[in-house]
Chains A and B, each alone.
Chain A
């Protein structure tokens, strides 16, 4: 069971990492396009190689969101925002199951093992409640964006797409947190260690 959730969380983190890398690529391509376009319009090219420069500026390949050409990526801003939301949500499950969230634990080192267990149960139950509420409300948000048919400004893609994609990470995070909370309760009752306590965060 623990293995299942761990693998699931890691898998989500890999997908999020891949999307993050893709965003890095898109942003860099957009900068290159913008700078190249500027360079082709600059005097150096316009005076010496006007034919080549103008041909390159006018060069077009048809693409999904308008033609692909040498220039800034129109709407890269919107893709970064949508992709980033997906990325962060898909990172949440791993951070949760690995216990990566920042805490102050020097004051609770002195209290008894039993008290610490009760505290852990309370915290993990509260965390699960919050993550479940976040996922449910994100679902509500997705529905309302869907019903209103809102689209982004430049690329005109429906806003609910990004919401729906983010929902995947939010739901898995909620599932992981409920599982962890249940295990903590079981631990408190049986007095046994059922799952490893997470290591600290690396930041």
Chain B
């Protein structure tokens, strides 16, 4: 058997193990370990790798952002921040038709800005908003579905643990990915609000009426959410503004939410220990999968399967968009079975090399060159350049033609095909990352096994899960429409990037 065949056979073996309830990290570790043993004809190399690889995987500086964000998220659940957010959103939206549900979405979006986990967002906002929704006559299934959808905003709106892992696997800049996630995240919240207003018109009995809150009280409620805004601004603004690295941002966020929780009397010694154990469980789970993935990917790299598969897809001449849609569809299916982080760690090392060799037309060489020339001229680069050369350049630009590099270099513009390609790959990676982030989250609310659905439904014993299933389909439709929009218009995602 050739190395490639061994690599390819490892997929079905791995999937079988995972479907037989073998923990995903363990399954990947074993597949990688045994695979390396077969390829090298013995386990010496795999064993030698273990001497330092576990340590180096766990001591990665860029991954240290993960436990810090998790700690931040657990602190955020303690501090009364969810109540403050919900109260503010309810004050402004609650009296509208379906307003309390809209407020729950708004509060989830706000909470997502300080918590990088969907399950934590769903659980925390569920405890806060579910009793209120039921109090104002919102039907059971509608209430639980709203909160489940709102929960997915925890990961869509940065900071997001899944996005951090994606960034590391695809070797992309975390700050740029966070920035790119902001507009799609807000679109998600807006889409859910529209979904709610459609739902309550189609099902008028599903929502009650809540009297408006006086203006003064609304203003006070807005003032109460300042700590959340401060922490979000510090973390995301600081990372993006270059004030600190993503890991430093996570540390600032953890300290910030910890202080807020302490000030709100949510963080006593017992709660601190509880945050430690909760962080320990999720951190160890994630890092064990990261370790398994590191081993498995090390094995795949030896077999050269990812490059070979990427080349094969390229040789078939499929349309890039067809490939993309098949991959996204695959994630939707897999998302019904697996949690988002496992899915990303399992699949990105295979799919990302394929996506990165496809050309989605995200970079137009000539347009980019013309933009750079215009910018250079605006900055006064044309001074001292011979007028006939300037005329030649302007003439070519008016025709929409490429300016030869010899001419553009006179203005200090030296764009090469290679540089444009590199920018194109980066844009593709960021755009693909955001798309994957959304589709894996949809899996968390897809009946019959979406994990968030179970968490929220367990909080409301009076609602049969079938009713949650029915109502959540509206929100899933909104998600799918959003994915289609983002696929058709990559600019929505890439718009904020420099």
Contact = CB atoms under 8 A, between A and B. Distances in A.
Interface of A: 10, 13-14, 16-18, 20-21, 23-25, 27-28, 30-31, 35, 77, 80-82, 84-85, 87-92, 94-96, 98, 100-108, 119, 123, 126-127, 130, 133-134, 137-138, 140-141, 144, 162-163, 166, 170, 201-203
B60 A81 contact: yes
Contacts of A77: 61
B29 interface: yes
B26 A89 contact: no
Given A95-B284, A203-B339, A104 B21 contact: yes
B281 A140 contact: no
B54 A137 contact: yes
B226 interface: no
B24 A88 contact: no
B248 to A, nearest CB: 5
B401 interface: no
A17 B280 contact: yes
Contacts of B258: 24
B68 A101 contact: no
Given A104-B337, A130-B29, A91 B50 contact: no
A123 B285 contact: no
B22 A17 contact: no
Interface of B: 18-26, 29-30, 33, 47, 50-52, 54-55, 58-61, 63-64, 67-68, 70-71, 117, 119-120, 123, 161, 243-244, 247-248, 251-252, 254-255, 258, 272-273, 275-289, 337-339, 341-342, 449
10 A-B pairs closest in CB distance:
A17-B276, A95-B284, A85-B59, A141-B51, A13-B280, A27-B251, A137-B50, A101-B23, A91-B284, A91-B280
Contacts of A123: 21-23, 26
B255 A84 contact: no
B19 A107 contact: yes
Given A102-B339, A137-B50, A203-B339, A27 B23 contact: no
Contacts of B251: 23-24, 27-28, 31
A203 B255 CA distance: 20
Contacts of B20: 107-108, 119
Contacts of B22: 103, 123, 126
A126 B272 CA distance: 34
Contacts of B55: 85, 138, 141, 162-163, 166
A88 B285 contact: no
B255 A25 contact: yes
A104 B341 contact: no
Contact of B58 (A14, A31, A84): A84
A98 B247 CA distance: 28
Nearest to B253: A24
Contacts of B119: 202-203
Given A14-B273, A28-B252, A31-B248, A105 B278 contact: no
A94 B247 contact: no
B341 A203 contact: yes
B284 A94 contact: yes
Most buried by B among A85, A92, A95, A166: A95
A81 B61 CA distance: 6
A17 to B, nearest CB: 3
20 contacts: A13-B280, A16-B276, A17-B272, A24-B258, A25-B255, A30-B248, A31-B251, A91-B283, A100-B285, A101-B288, A102-B289, A102-B342, A104-B21, A108-B19, A119-B21, A123-B21, A137-B50, A202-B278, A203-B119, A203-B285
Given A28-B251, A102-B23, A126-B26, A88 B67 contact: yes
A47 to B, nearest CB: 23
Contacts of A137: 47, 50-51, 54
